[in-house]
């Protein structure tokens, strides 16, 4: 038998923890809880525990929170973990400079930062979060001239006190899954989110490759960045430098000439 349950997801702060808690509340018959979940019709404890709850594409009423339907027909799969993966539209972001995710998100995978060599004019401009578990499909040994090249990504922060201890170390990264918030925003120039409705996932420094080198992109690197173990040799590769604001073309006053820009990654 298939029964449909309509669940309205509202603002979730610390969503992972609260979502799990709210499932318990739902299973004991609780129907509403402000800011967590509102369930429109009854769902029994056995249905929640024994059946996998699958959330299909959400639809939006005018001005309403996303509405999700769960089909709790039995399909033999049942776990909280499954529910967490499927519990909403969700979103993903890359946490540059750390190999773990904050409590507000779940780790999808961690890896090392990669990119094109700092002086190469071709290849990709964007930094990558490379898996530490690569799989191959008919690779050919040796170098081929007609190829792009992927290098590791080193901190070049010797002149920037907050990150100077990372000089020449290779940066790590993590891809993080947010279950219930569905929009992600990186704001350059601040380490605070726009309002309390937003969840600050992480904050840090805006970084890119030095202005005299080839162009990469601007990314937000965690304030407490980590490096790959024992990677202090100067291997070069793609590089990470802090970004200074230049006032004049930028409005002076809010921006101070030569100050290194902060950044924040927020979800809602
Ligand atoms: Ca290195
Ligand atoms: Ca400076």
What tokens appear for 60 in the block? Answer: 């939006």
> Could you say which ligand is closest to the alpha carbon of residue 162?
2
Mean pLDDT value across residues 161-186: 97
User: What is the 266 CA–ligand 1 centroid distance (Å)?
Assistant: 30
User: What is the 256 CA–ligand 2 centroid distance (Å)?
Assistant: 10
Instruction: Give domain limits for the chain.
Output: 4-86, 91-267
The CA–CA distances, whole Å, from 3 to 71, 72, 231 equal 6, 6, 55
> Could you say which ligand is closest to the alpha carbon of residue 235?
1
Judging by DSSP bridges, how do beta strands 4-9 and 37-39 pair with one another? antiparallel
> Could you say which ligand is closest to the alpha carbon of residue 159?
2
Please tell me the predicted confidence (pLDDT) of residue 49. Answer: 33
Please tell me the predicted confidence (pLDDT) of residue 143. Answer: 96
Whether 40 shows a pLDDT value over 90: the answer reads no
Please tell me the predicted confidence (pLDDT) of residue 171. Answer: 98
Give the C-alpha separation, 23 to 15, whole Å. Answer: 12
Q: Which residue has the higher pLDDT, 116 or 12?
A: 116
Per-residue model confidence as pLDDT tens digits over 119-133: 999 999 999 999 999
Mean pLDDT value across residues 186-191: 98
- Mean pLDDT across the chain, nearest whole number? 78
User: What is the 181 CA–ligand 1 centroid distance (Å)?
Assistant: 36
Whether 61 shows a pLDDT value over 90: the answer reads no
Q: Which residue has the higher pLDDT, 22 or 59?
A: 22
| CATH code for the structural domain at 91-267 | 2.170.240
Contacts of 8 by beta carbon, 8 Å cutoff, 6+ apart: 37, 38, 39, 40, 64, 65, 66, 67, 68
The answer to whether 99 and 172 are in contact (CB under 8 A) is: yes
Give the C-alpha separation, 55 to 155, whole Å. Answer: 41
Q: Which 3-state string (H, E, C) describes 54-110?
A: EECCCEECCCCCEEEEEECCCCCCCCHHHHHHHCCCCEEEEEECCCCCCCCCEEEEE
Q: Which residue has the higher pLDDT, 191 or 51?
A: 191
Please tell me the predicted confidence (pLDDT) of residue 89. Answer: 84
pLDDT tier for residue 87 given thresholds of 50, 70 and 90: low
User: What is the 171 CA–ligand 1 centroid distance (Å)?
Assistant: 9
The CA–CA distances, whole Å, from 216 to 149, 160, 198, 240 equal 14, 20, 28, 9
User: What is the 151 CA–ligand 2 centroid distance (Å)?
Assistant: 27
User: What is the 150 CA–ligand 2 centroid distance (Å)?
Assistant: 29
User: What is the 97 CA–ligand 2 centroid distance (Å)?
Assistant: 21
């Amino acid at each position: 038998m298939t029964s449909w349950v309509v669940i309205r997801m509202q603002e979730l702060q610390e969503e992972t923890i609260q979502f799990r808690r709210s499932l318990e509340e739902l299973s004991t018959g609780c129907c509403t809880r402000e800011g967590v979940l509102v369930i429109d019709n009854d769902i029994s404890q056995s249905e929640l525990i024994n059946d996998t709850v699958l959330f299909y594409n959400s639809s939006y009423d005018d001005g309403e929170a996303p509405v999700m339907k769960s089909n709790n027909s039995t399909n033999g799969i049942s776990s909280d973990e499954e529910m967490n993966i499927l519990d909403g539209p969700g979103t993903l972001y890359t946490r540059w400079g750390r190999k773990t995710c904050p409590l507000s998100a779940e780790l999808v995978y961690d890896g090392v930062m990669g990119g094109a060599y700092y002086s190469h004019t071709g290849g990709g401009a964007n930094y990558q979060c490379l898996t530490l578990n690569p799989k191959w499909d008919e690779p050919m040994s040796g170098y081929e001239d007609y190829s792009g090249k992927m290098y590791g990504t080193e901190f070049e922060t010797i002149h920037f006190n907050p990150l100077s201890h990372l000089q020449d170390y290779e940066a790590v990264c993590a891809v993080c899954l947010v279950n219930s918030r569905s929009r992600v925003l990186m704001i350059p120039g601040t380490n605070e989110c726009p309002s309390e409705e937003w969840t600050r996932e992480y904050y840090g420094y805006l970084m890119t490759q030095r202005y005299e080198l080839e162009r990469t992109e601007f990314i937000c690197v965690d304030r407490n960045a980590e490096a790959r173990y024992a990677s202090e040799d100067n291997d070069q590769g793609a590089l990470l430098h802090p970004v200074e604001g230049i006032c004049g073309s930028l409005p002076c006053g809010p921006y101070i000439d030569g100050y290194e820009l902060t950044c924040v990654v927020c979800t809602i």
